Structure 1
């Protein structure tokens, strides 16, 4: 096969070079400086010279032109053929002049600037119907007059690139460019992004970046993340969140990833492929505060994950389980197989300031006897012993009513329904009360000797 002639090879080389330059955007060159402009670097020292030779008896005076409310005016600096400026600042930029009397000898412009930093661009798109944003950070504040540009064009296509001007945001300390996306643009087509930053001190071009609209998809993080405890569930937490306002869920959905950890733990537990806007955590640590975050990604897996949402905190339910009110006592089954007894706070002689309804103490499964049970049992036995004597006394008294002398007072029986004295005032064994006049009290021995 015959080799192509030399001119043809040169033509192919030039064509490839033109395609490369078209894909790379425009050349990044600094703005030209005029002959009377002197460039000074930030923080450096510089010496300005008025003339090579000055008469010995002449006094050279330096002044700088400043812009005030009433317009430009001159501020005198120093005398001499040379002027030394130390530790240059951006504010030192301006027009300097030297003169002898009213005769102007020289006027020059001092420009204090730093060469721009090389852009490290990254692009993202908040949703399928938003424009593409490209940005890069800055370590230092750019010099006044710095210009940042961005070009976008389709790859391997000989067409003019779309030019975008970029803005610097001082609070975020970064340049941001907005790339308009026409409706109906194919999300899979490759685009070439070129950047350039230039000022009077120089120019710097960023490395070309090849992107597609689907690959730069990066949603905003979810919002309104809340963590709530579930009643009577000491190991569960309910996490809820909302779609970011920049994403319309009517056309495209998001998948979510949730991570959580108790505050003592150093690492997170992650839950993937969450398709709802809520998650039920079932392995939370009892009584510990948990930190929860959520992030989002396109439902088809395009692009990258969003940033993590702001931290939300919550603690599982810590209430105590009871089967009756706080004033009563009783045993409550614990989760380890033992029983806990809930004692009313009145037994301790102090108020329940915590509102927990009693203090819970672990105990074995043996029943716990209350001191009131002994009092009630003793009172019942005493009442059962005295009731037969009481009824025998009533029967004997009623039989003697017919033989009482006229004028003797009748004694009414004390009804049994009256409430007994309090246990603190009544001994368990009481002595027999003296007999009332006109009444016969029979003991067990008297009843036996009567022969009845």
Structure 2
């Protein structure tokens, strides 16, 4: 039969046989009386008092003295925490007995959580309380390596009234193994009883939980209406010269309640590419150890920012509103322009409102296109006129020049002319009609001479 090594068996048996540390009520002295809030108790000076003796009582707490009803037995009803103190009985001026009254409830069972803010910090174990503990309540924490018979180190825990929780600090020796398991035990006790927390097994890597990132800012990127730049910095408790963090960013547009998240961010900035135009966005960042050890930090404080908006678009949107009229609550708000509340025109068609709407929605681009088209048409017409003018001049020149000079002859539309040999080069001058110009003289003007 196979068997485990003897040293390992010894360690397992020692850990299993080690008795659980007792966690009971604090020891009370003989002259201490315990009462719970709301209960009724009776304090006695003597077990059997003489019949002819008058016993008086006096309550002393915080330097104050208060006379109480006389008698050997002092009944106290519906105890409160304020009733705790020292009660003394007297016969005349002689003090016979002093009793210490404690008004306490058994402590709450601790539910401990441990964390370490960075690799070079101690481990903090804490647990919250529903109610303030009774005076004299004591909380203790013990830490020892698992599967060893070594004595546990004992730590006294402090109560922080503002945070309403107990906090214990576990010293981590330099060079400690971050993967070695430790066993953590807790006990809270007072005069009314004791409560032990559940034992926890932790490792130094497993309890890493950084503080939230700091200085989270959201800025707009110029000419990018759907982008936001988020910047933040490492928490002051984390030394990023030796150890790094990875981050998670979440954001949402107002007033939406659902966040979008971006994981595995290793830088201290992020560009959001799907922001909503013109809306404010709420952004938060949290951190974790770069290799995923431990837990995520709490979310940082909310930072708010809106994407870049074109000033022209903003001016055109604000141009439809006026802030000259106060609201019902006394503040000045945005109101519609007075033109929209004017009565219809004389013809009943509502002309002024329609004209104002047309002016406000007219775009300059159709006018630019129409103007460009008109200029292009005019330039085309001028080109055609100049081209045909040259052709007309060339046609007149060919009618007066002889053949063989490299000119292209225009095809006549009328009946053919007689041969050049039968046509004189120059027409005989004739007396022009009064007030006119002879037609045959036009060849001279088109000849270019």
CA offset at residue 112 of structure 1? Answer: 1.5
8 Å contact kept, 2:14–2:148: no
Work out whether 1:122 is the aligned partner of 2:113.
Answer: yes
Work out whether 1:150 is the aligned partner of 2:141.
Answer: yes
Partner of 1:348 in structure 2? none
CA offset at residue 98 of structure 1? Answer: 2.1
1:4-153 alignment to 2 at 5 Å? 19-20=15-16, 22=18, 24=20, 26-55=21-50, 58-68=53-63, 74-153=65-144
1:156-195 alignment to 2 at 5 Å? 156-195=147-186
SS at match of 1:303: coil
Q: Distance in 1 between matches of 2:23 and 2:36?
A: 20
Partner of 1:301 in structure 2? 292
* Match for residue 241 of structure 1 among 232, 239, 263: 232
* Match for residue 206 of structure 1 among 175, 191, 197: 197
Q: Distance in 2 between matches of 1:244 and 1:362?
A: 52
SS at match of 2:232: strand
- Structure 1 residue runs without a partner (length 5+): 2-12, 327-359, 374-449
CA gap of 1:22–1:131, structure 2 versus 1, over 3 A, is farther
Q: Distance in 1 between matches of 2:361 and 2:23?
A: 78
Q: Distance in 1 between matches of 2:266 and 2:216?
A: 15
SS at match of 1:42: coil
Q: Distance in 2 between matches of 1:112 and 1:259?
A: 49
CA RMSD of aligned residues (A): 3.1
CA gap of 1:321–1:103, structure 2 versus 1, over 3 A, is closer
SS at match of 1:79: coil
Q: Deviations over 1:197-241 (max 9, x none)?
A: 111111111110001111101110000000111122221111100
Partner of 2:307 in structure 1? 316
CA offset at residue 17 of structure 1? Answer: 7.3
8 Å contact kept, 1:155–1:191: yes
Q: Distance in 2 between matches of 1:20 and 1:29?
A: 21
Q: Distance in 2 between matches of 1:221 and 1:21?
A: 42
Higher helix share: 2
Q: Deviations over 1:270-300 (max 9, x none)?
A: 0000111011111111111111000000110
CA gap of 1:23–1:50, structure 2 versus 1, over 3 A, is closer
Higher strand share: 1
Partner of 2:366 in structure 1? 367
SS at match of 2:69: strand
Q: Distance in 1 between matches of 2:231 and 2:360?
A: 36
TM score, norm. by length of structure 1: 0.66
Partner of 1:340 in structure 2? none
Flag the structure with larger Rg. 2
Partner of 1:339 in structure 2? none
8 Å contact kept, 1:23–1:155: no
CA offset at residue 107 of structure 1? Answer: 2.7
1:253-402 alignment to 2 at 5 Å? 253-321=244-312, 362-363=361-362, 367-368=366-367
